[in-house]
Each structure stands twice: as C-alpha cells, then as structure tokens.
C-alpha cells in the first residue's frame, strides 16, 4: 500500500476521532515495512499538512481539526519513542514556534526527526517572548536556532528577532533556520527575513542541517537596519493594501501568504 493511500485512510480516521482505527492503520503501515521514521515523515506529516490546509481554508470544522490534531500528536509521540536513534553528533538545537500555535504539531515532528539524527534538542513551542529566546540563545550559544511559523502575522516578530541577533553580534556561531507553512506559501520569504537556512518539510530540514552546517546568510540577504515592524493590526492591513513605488520583498511575501490564508479582517 502506498504512503498516499495510508495517509488518506488515516485522515478519515483522524477527523472522525476514531482512535482505534487510527492506531490500527499506523500498526499496519509498520507491519507492511515502513520504519517509524518513515511513518512520521511520509504519512503523519503529509496528513498534518492536509488537515492544516483544510482548516485554514474553512473546509474543516474546529471540532474535526481538534480531534484530528490531538490524536495525531498522540500517534507521533508513540512513533518517536520507537525511533532508531543515531549516536550524538555533538551539535545543539534550540527551537521555537512563532507567536501563533498553528504550526506546533508539524514543528514537533520535525524536531523529533532532528533529534533522531543525533542532535541535542530543546523545543519550547509557541508563545515565548523574543527577549526570552534571545537571552537563552545568548547564554547557551546553540549550533542551531530553529524557528517555525505558520501565520503571516508571525513574520515581523521573527525578522525582528533575527535582526537583533545580528545587531548585537552575540550569537555569531548560531545558524538560524526557519521552516513551517508560511515559508512554503511565499517564495523567497526565508531569505528576506535573513535566515541562514530553510526547508519545506522535516526530511529536507534534517538533510540541509546535516549537509550545510556552515551556510550563512550573505550581507545582501540580511535585513539589519530595516524599519521596525508596525503594530500587528497595521501590518495586517498593509499586507493586504495595494502598494506604490519600489516593491518591498517582505511586504509582497506577506501579501502572498495573507492571500493564501484568506481575506483580511
């Protein structure tokens, strides 16, 4: 059975809250030859993306979304506990989500797979103040800071955090990596906010972190000195309003991502 077929069957079980069926589908996938790592990266993550997209587009009820994501989190935890963990590679990762929590489950899957590759990881999820993140990174000096975001409204705060890290120069050895749905919906967005590395899915994230540990943003990509973000409500209106004069790459990307999420309030 293909992973697409497994994902389709699992999706139906998840949105209906059918816990025994969801577990049985997962068990059958393992019995048919998938590893637990493949179960997460090739079945659970694509299913999560489908659920998130439908919910974002008002094609899935809140009830179905909540049942599905909570059950999928439980399945992910069970699979991650059975990963074939690789030897520690001596590299450290601190990870957060943007201010909203819509991308937390996808971020957890990605970080579980990163940890499986031998990275020492810490994951705090969403809602952590930028000052706290900056303080932790300054104190710990991790090899990688990984930030996930799903909403366009997260982006100015993330760019501001990256700018502040560059300005104070206290974390020069830390590679800044971004991922999550908003970066997949707007081409070039990761470069514009000054990230060193980015990836569209957990497998790509692990591969790029392993293969490109020295990659850093060049001077033309970084946004140090950019105008500080306006209040969130103004940013939202600005992202949807027509612009005149030279194009602003981040503003254009915000507009693209906002349109992908639906009409502005």
Interatomic CA distance for residues 208 and 186, integer angstroms: 19
Q: Determine the longest span between alpha carbons in the chain, in angstroms.
A: 59
Residue 192 near residue 158, CB atoms below 8 Å: no
Dihedral of CA atoms 206, 9, 123, 169 in degrees, nearest 10, equals 50
Give burial (CB, 10 Å; 0-12/13-18/19+) of 113: buried
More confident residue, 2 or 168: 2
Q: Is the pLDDT of residue 233 over 80?
A: no
The pLDDT of residue 168 is: 84
What is the predicted pLDDT for the residue at 250? 52
CB 190 within 8 A of CB 169: no
149 and 178 Cβ atoms separated by less than 8 Å = yes
> Looking at the predicted structure, is the pLDDT value of residue 237 above 70?
no
Distance CA 180, CA 150 (A): 6
- pTM here? 0.80
The predicted pLDDT at position 218 comes to: 80
CA nearest 155: which of 105, 110, 200, 99? Answer: 99
Is the pLDDT at 150 greater than 90? The verdict is no
Q: What is the pLDDT of residues 248-265, one digit of tens each?
A: 545 555 555 544 444 433
Residues 92-211: name the CATH superfamily: Cobalamin-binding domain (3.40.50.280)
Count CB-CB contacts under 10 A for residue 7: 20
For 67-125, what is each residue's pLDDT tens digit? 999 999 999 999 999 999 999 999 999 999 876 666 789 999 999 999 999 999 999 99
Q: Considering only CA atoms, which of 131, 130, 205 is closest in space to residue 175? A: 205
> pLDDT per residue over 151-175, tens digit each?
788 888 888 999 998 888 878 899 9
Percent of the chain, pLDDT > 70?
80
Looking at residue 219, its pLDDT comes to 67
Planar angle of CA 246, 250, 251, nearest 5 degrees: 65
Residues 6+ apart with CB under 8 A from 69: 48, 51, 105
Instruction: Please tell me the predicted confidence (pLDDT) of residue 220.
Output: 67
- CATH 3.40.50.410 for domain 3-80, yes or no, is no
Q: Delimit the domains of the chain by residue range.
A: 3-80, 92-211, 232-261
Cβ contact 14:72 at 8 Å: yes
């Amino acid at each position: 059975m293909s992973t697409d077929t497994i994902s389709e069957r699992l999706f139906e079980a998840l949105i209906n809250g059918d816990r025994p069926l969801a577990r049985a589908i997962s068990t059958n996938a393992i019995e048919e030859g998938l590893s637990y790592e493949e179960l997460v990266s090739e079945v659970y993550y694509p299913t999560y993306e489908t659920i998130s997209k439908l919910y974002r587009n008002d094609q899935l009820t809140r009830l179905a979304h909540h049942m599905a994501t909570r059950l999928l989190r439980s399945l992910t935890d069970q699979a991650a506990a059975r990963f074939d963990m690789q030897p520690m590679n001596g590299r450290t990762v601190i990870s957060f989500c943007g201010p909203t929590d819509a991308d937390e489950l996808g971020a957890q899957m990605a970080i579980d797979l990163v940890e499986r590759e031998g990275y020492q990881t810490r994951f705090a999820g969403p809602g952590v103040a930028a000052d706290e993140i900056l303080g932790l990174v300054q104190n710990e000096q991790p090899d990688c800071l990984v930030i996930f975001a799903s909403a366009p409204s997260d982006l100015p705060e993330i760019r501001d955090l990256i700018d502040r890290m560059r300005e104070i120069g206290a974390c020069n050895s830390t590679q800044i990596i971004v991922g999550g749905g908003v970066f997949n919906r707007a081409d070039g967005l990761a470069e514009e906010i000054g990230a060193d590395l980015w990836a569209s899915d957990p497998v790509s994230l692990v591969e790029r972190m392993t293969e490109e540990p020295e990659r850093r943003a060049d001077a033309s990509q970084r946004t140090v000195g950019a105008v500080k973000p306006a209040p969130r409500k103004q940013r939202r209106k600005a992202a949807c309003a027509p612009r005149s004069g030279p194009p602003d790459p981040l503003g254009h990307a915000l507009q693209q991502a906002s349109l992908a999420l639906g009409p502005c309030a």
